[in-house]
Chains A and B, each alone.
Chain A
């Protein structure tokens, strides 16, 4: 099957309503290519999206998909993967969705280490509500709700993931199509929770974290000869506030995903027509 699948099979016939030039186009393309490259097809793929511009992705992709409520996409993905571990589960959301309202779920999803992929379209702003600061916005970033800047430290999603014992922590830039696709593909192939924070510029509301800014400043960890299995080296890069890195910053090669630890291998959709055969034992326990 996999040889016949092309990434365009993951495209729906709906035209995206993202602003022209939005970083989310590139982010989505990389996701679709990564899925196709890893031998998946739309019928065995489940995409869960949150709310916001990023949340529209389920409409533009073709697969089994659910567009959830704000910040709660990860638990949905965890439920899908538990119930049918044969499915490829990809969750996508934005920085507000994932690191603000969904921050709690993010930390717990990371430490749970379910075998799935989480791609965050990080544009450092709330786009769909028209330009308020987000949890990853810079301290001095002026918006309608932060005329003098938010005056609070931005969330460092990679550091959060590292603190929660993440087993795959990566960052990419949607405009660097080749690298982005490679990184998401590695996340899909990872045995466990593959987390990719994607710089996905908002051309309408964010005039600071622009394509030019990232192009000029981004440093590829591969050019630094970074060994992603070296946790200390990863920590140093992740907590370096001066540099924007792309690449796989940390990967635990011994990662055993939650579904494997808990012996989740069967499709739970297969249930008997009546009560299970030995169900009377359940009653007997109460004698």
Chain B
């Protein structure tokens, strides 16, 4: 039996699935195990199937797989929903005394483990702790030392007082003891190793929020929307500690305009939303670009169009972020490919925004945003954070940028396209700007030469950025392989693990994960060096494949997924081999 443990708790929304899953994930992480979590949730507050899955191992884990070893099923539907991931030897923990589960029996070959969750919880002090009883039972089933739960419970219930913590710890013990008495651990074959490694456990939204603070973001405005809301919830209360403010706006139109105002006043500002919100923000996006205001706009993609599937994965907004908005709008588009990159790319986005005085789209997806993963804390190195505020002009050097009438020129057509910038309060720097075409003073104009000069100036900033920055990619696997796989966003983790499966089938691939979507690395050479090129993305039409084909003037193979669920490593390995000229069988 591999050391890999795939655990899940499932039930109805409102059953405390999330907090229970999180407690278990934290316990594993504190025990020095690598953890990767995923959530199945529906767009409703109570009821409806929901699950929290935790994969853990002593080795690197970067994705979910089609396998469940221990399942806590609060409802029968939980078992049905996960049937294809359960296998011989899977343990199913449920409350056999619960009316709705009375007649339930685990499918053949699986280990049926009824535990009186509610009754034992009541013994410990309250029925509400039935999930914790189940956690204790799961610890025993997986042979995972229950002491690891204690700290996680302290963290979860710390603000509710010592007695609540102790009751929960007791509830877990009762679950553990019940399984010890009623079952023989040897029958399960799970033996979970712990290590001395220190890990932190966080999701992509939290990493984006943390990156924003590290980058000096001081103003955040947003409107609640799945799956971007965690960014706002993370920042609220924390941004204030650093002299900042989180403003919940009345809508997305307001959110981006507030952020624009704060940015013009000199604060590093950000808004985050998902697809529908990005549509609403598109109008102001043009103003941000035309007024040359540095702003980070984060799009945590979900399934679209329209309201689509709000709680499901998709990477369908690439075209919107690359091309959205009326007129031609210079922009930068950065897309982190892993949770730790969410931190680093957010910091970079703020620097790029101020350096080039442009809006920067920071594009993440649901699978990145709500997934938690363990990292060594050094991956979030605060000492390496550098701040570049660009061409900020103070009172001492303002004279250089005044015209002969002592007027400040916010849109001075510098050769690199980047003008000097003054912040309100700077003496002598007062100026206006507008979304209308304007001259170097920011004043409306329709003069043909000035129009051309200003359009060229704004576009020049992108060309300057192209030549000054390193629009690199992340590479994995065998760089000499004839098979090249390209992807963006959250697919990186699944693909990295898919490569392990492919190795076993003797299929070697070169994998390039692209974090910069505009400007983006020129991959022509890499594409030409490969025999076959496969582009992996979570959308139906292959938006990323389209732009890469356009760049490299070639046709690429595509692996697309748009059922609302992220790629799983083993599934992806299979899909890749199907595309190969000589398809291979992948052992899973």
A interface vs B, CB < 8 Å?
12-14, 42-48, 56, 58-59, 61-69, 72, 75-84, 86-87, 104-105, 108, 262-264, 266-269, 271-276, 279-280, 282-284, 286-287
Instruction: Quote the shortest CB–CB distance from A116 to chain B (angstroms).
Output: 10
Q: Tell whether, in the assembled complex, residue B238 and residue A282 are in contact, meaning their CB atoms are under 8 Å apart.
A: yes
Question: Given A79-B259, A82-B219, A271-B218, A283–B244 Cβ distance below 8 Å?
Answer: no
Q: Quick check: which of B92-100, B181-189, B245-253, B575-583 contacts chain A, the rest being far away? A: B245-253
Instruction: Quote the shortest CB–CB distance from A94 to chain B (angstroms).
Output: 16
Residues of A within 8 A of B542 (CB): none
Question: A48 vs B293: C-alpha distance in the bound complex, in angstroms?
Answer: 15
Q: Tell whether, in the assembled complex, residue B267 and residue A287 are in contact, meaning their CB atoms are under 8 Å apart.
A: no
Question: Given A43-B429, A83-B267, A268–B254 Cβ distance below 8 Å?
Answer: no
Closest to B379 in A: A283
Q: Tell whether, in the assembled complex, residue A274 and residue B436 are in contact, meaning their CB atoms are under 8 Å apart.
A: no
Q: Tell whether, in the assembled complex, residue A275 and residue B253 are in contact, meaning their CB atoms are under 8 Å apart.
A: no
Closest to B436 in A: A67
Question: Given A13-B405, A83-B266, A69–B287 Cβ distance below 8 Å?
Answer: yes
Residues of A within 8 A of B426 (CB): 43
Q: Tell whether, in the assembled complex, residue B258 and residue A58 are in contact, meaning their CB atoms are under 8 Å apart.
A: no
Any A CB within 8 A of the CB of B210: yes
Closest to B261 in A: A79
Q: Tell whether, in the assembled complex, residue A79 and residue B265 are in contact, meaning their CB atoms are under 8 Å apart.
A: yes
Q: Which of A59, A69, A87, A286 contacts B435 (CB 8 A)?
A: A69
B interface vs A, CB < 8 Å?
30, 198-202, 206, 210, 213-216, 218-219, 221, 238, 240, 242-245, 247, 249-251, 253-255, 257-269, 283-284, 286-287, 291, 377, 380, 382-383, 385-387, 405, 423-436, 443-444
Instruction: Quote the shortest CB–CB distance from A102 to chain B (angstroms).
Output: 9
Question: A272 vs B238: C-alpha distance in the bound complex, in angstroms?
Answer: 16
Q: Tell whether, in the assembled complex, residue A68 and residue B214 are in contact, meaning their CB atoms are under 8 Å apart.
A: no
Q: Which of B219, B261, B283 contacts A76 (CB 8 A)?
A: B261
Of B283, B383, B443, most buried by chain A (CB within 10 Å of CB) is B443
Question: Given A79-B261, A267-B266, A66–B382 Cβ distance below 8 Å?
Answer: no
Question: Given A68-B287, A283-B382, A43–B424 Cβ distance below 8 Å?
Answer: yes
Question: A170 vs B45: C-alpha distance in the bound complex, in angstroms?
Answer: 44
Q: Which of B202, B266, B430 contacts A42 (CB 8 A)?
A: B430
Q: Tell whether, in the assembled complex, residue B425 and residue A80 are in contact, meaning their CB atoms are under 8 Å apart.
A: no
Q: Tell whether, in the assembled complex, residue B386 and residue A274 are in contact, meaning their CB atoms are under 8 Å apart.
A: yes
Residues of B within 8 A of A45 (CB): 424, 430
Q: Tell whether, in the assembled complex, residue B254 and residue A72 are in contact, meaning their CB atoms are under 8 Å apart.
A: yes
Closest to A87 in B: B424
Closest to A273 in B: B387
Residues of B within 8 A of A283 (CB): 200, 210, 377, 380, 382
Q: Tell whether, in the assembled complex, residue A44 and residue B258 are in contact, meaning their CB atoms are under 8 Å apart.
A: no
Q: Which of A14, A72, A268, A279 contacts B382 (CB 8 A)?
A: A279
Q: Which of B242, B382, B435 contacts A67 (CB 8 A)?
A: B435
Q: Tell whether, in the assembled complex, residue B382 and residue A78 are in contact, meaning their CB atoms are under 8 Å apart.
A: no
What are 13 residue pairs bridging A and B, where the CB atoms are less than 8 Å apart in the complex? A65-B432, A66-B291, A66-B434, A69-B257, A69-B435, A75-B255, A79-B261, A80-B424, A87-B425, A104-B251, A105-B254, A274-B383, A282-B380
Instruction: Quote the shortest CB–CB distance from B29 to chain A (angstroms).
Output: 8
Question: A106 vs B170: C-alpha distance in the bound complex, in angstroms?
Answer: 54
Q: Which of B200, B214, B269, B433 contacts A276 (CB 8 A)?
A: B214
Q: Tell whether, in the assembled complex, residue A62 and residue B213 are in contact, meaning their CB atoms are under 8 Å apart.
A: no
Q: Tell whether, in the assembled complex, residue B425 and residue A108 are in contact, meaning their CB atoms are under 8 Å apart.
A: no
Residues of A within 8 A of B261 (CB): 48, 66, 75-83
Residues of B within 8 A of A80 (CB): 261-262, 264-265, 424
Instruction: Quote the shortest CB–CB distance from B74 to chain A (angstroms).
Output: 27
Q: Tell whether, in the assembled complex, residue A79 and residue B258 are in contact, meaning their CB atoms are under 8 Å apart.
A: yes
Question: Given A66-B261, A80-B261, A286–B201 Cβ distance below 8 Å?
Answer: yes
Q: Tell whether, in the assembled complex, residue B405 and residue A62 are in contact, meaning their CB atoms are under 8 Å apart.
A: no
Q: Which of B251, B257, B287 contacts A79 (CB 8 A)?
A: B257
Q: Tell whether, in the assembled complex, residue A46 and residue B265 are in contact, meaning their CB atoms are under 8 Å apart.
A: yes
Q: Tell whether, in the assembled complex, residue A287 and residue B198 are in contact, meaning their CB atoms are under 8 Å apart.
A: yes
Beyond A65-B430, A271-B387, A273-B387, list 7 extra A-B contacts (CB 8 Å): A43-B426, A62-B430, A64-B432, A67-B434, A72-B253, A79-B265, A82-B258
Instruction: Quote the shortest CB–CB distance from A42 to chain B (angstroms).
Output: 4
Closest to B218 in A: A268
Of B243, B387, B430, B431, most buried by chain A (CB within 10 Å of CB) is B430
Instruction: Quote the shortest CB–CB distance from B193 to chain A (angstroms).
Output: 20
Q: Tell whether, in the assembled complex, residue B206 and residue A286 are in contact, meaning their CB atoms are under 8 Å apart.
A: yes
Residues of B within 8 A of A266 (CB): 243
Question: A5 vs B251: C-alpha distance in the bound complex, in angstroms?
Answer: 39
Question: Given A276-B213, A287-B200, A66–B425 Cβ distance below 8 Å?
Answer: no
Closest to B206 in A: A286
Question: A78 vs B94: C-alpha distance in the bound complex, in angstroms?
Answer: 52
Closest to B392 in A: A269
Question: Given A268-B265, A271-B268, A82–B216 Cβ distance below 8 Å?
Answer: no
Question: A264 vs B385: C-alpha distance in the bound complex, in angstroms?
Answer: 26
Q: Tell whether, in the assembled complex, residue A76 and residue B258 are in contact, meaning their CB atoms are under 8 Å apart.
A: yes
Residues of B within 8 A of A64 (CB): 264, 424, 429-432
Instruction: Quote the shortest CB–CB distance from B230 to chain A (angstroms).
Output: 13
Question: A269 vs B389: C-alpha distance in the bound complex, in angstroms?
Answer: 10
Closest to A279 in B: B382
Question: A77 vs B250: C-alpha distance in the bound complex, in angstroms?
Answer: 15
Closest 10 CB pairs of A and B: A79-B261, A269-B266, A271-B216, A67-B434, A268-B267, A75-B257, A65-B432, A83-B265, A286-B200, A83-B267
Question: Given A80-B262, A267-B425, A67–B432 Cβ distance below 8 Å?
Answer: yes
Q: Tell whether, in the assembled complex, residue B433 and residue A282 are in contact, meaning their CB atoms are under 8 Å apart.
A: no
Question: Given A72-B253, A83-B219, A276-B214, A43–B430 Cβ distance below 8 Å?
Answer: yes
Question: A254 vs B264: C-alpha distance in the bound complex, in angstroms?
Answer: 31
Of B386, B426, B435, most buried by chain A (CB within 10 Å of CB) is B435
Question: A66 vs B430: C-alpha distance in the bound complex, in angstroms?
Answer: 11
Residues of B within 8 A of A77 (CB): 261
Instruction: Quote the shortest CB–CB distance from B355 to chain A (angstroms).
Output: 15
Closest to B251 in A: A104
Q: Tell whether, in the assembled complex, residue B210 and residue A83 are in contact, meaning their CB atoms are under 8 Å apart.
A: no
Residues of A within 8 A of B286 (CB): 69
Question: Given A268-B266, A280-B382, A79–B250 Cβ distance below 8 Å?
Answer: no
Closest to B245 in A: A82
Q: Tell whether, in the assembled complex, residue A279 and residue B269 are in contact, meaning their CB atoms are under 8 Å apart.
A: no
Closest to A58 in B: B432
Q: Tell whether, in the assembled complex, residue B210 and residue A282 are in contact, meaning their CB atoms are under 8 Å apart.
A: yes
Residues of B within 8 A of A69 (CB): 257, 283-284, 286-287, 435
Question: Given A42-B430, A79-B261, A82-B262, A274–B385 Cβ distance below 8 Å?
Answer: yes
Question: A109 vs B269: C-alpha distance in the bound complex, in angstroms?
Answer: 20
Instruction: Quote the shortest CB–CB distance from A6 to chain B (angstroms).
Output: 15
Question: A263 vs B382: C-alpha distance in the bound complex, in angstroms?
Answer: 27
Closest to A274 in B: B385
Question: Given A79-B262, A84-B425, A87-B265, A58–B382 Cβ distance below 8 Å?
Answer: no
Residues of B within 8 A of A47 (CB): 432
Question: Given A66-B432, A80-B264, A264–B424 Cβ distance below 8 Å?
Answer: no
Q: Tell whether, in the assembled complex, residue A269 and residue B380 are in contact, meaning their CB atoms are under 8 Å apart.
A: no
